[in-house]
Amino acid sequence: MPRRSEKLELAKYTRHPDWPKVRRQLLKQHPHCEVCHTTKGPTAHHILPIWVYPALELEPTNLITLCNSGANHHLTFGHLCNYKSHNEHVVRDAEVWRKRIDERPKWKPFLTT
Helix boundaries (H) for the chain: 4-12, 19-29, 73, 90-102
Name the DSSP letter for residue 104: S
Q: Is residue 17 part of a domain?
A: yes
Q: pLDDT at residue 23 above 70?
A: yes
Domain membership of residue 47 as a residue range: 4-102
Q: Is residue 107 part of a domain?
A: no
Q: pLDDT at residue 55 above 70?
A: yes
Q: Is residue 69 part of a domain?
A: yes
Question: What is the C-alpha separation between 109 and 91, in angstroms, rounded?
Answer: 35
Residue 13: pLDDT band (50, 70, 90) is: confident
Single out the residue of 53, 59, 37 nearest to residue 2, CA to CA.
53
Q: Which residues, in sequence order, are CB contacts of 5 under 8 Å at separation 6+?
A: none
Q: Is residue 108 part of a domain?
A: no
Q: Is residue 87 part of a domain?
A: yes
Report pTM.
0.81
Q: Is residue 51 part of a domain?
A: yes
How many domains does the chain contain in total?
Answer: 1
Q: Is residue 109 part of a domain?
A: no
Residue 113: pLDDT band (50, 70, 90) is: low
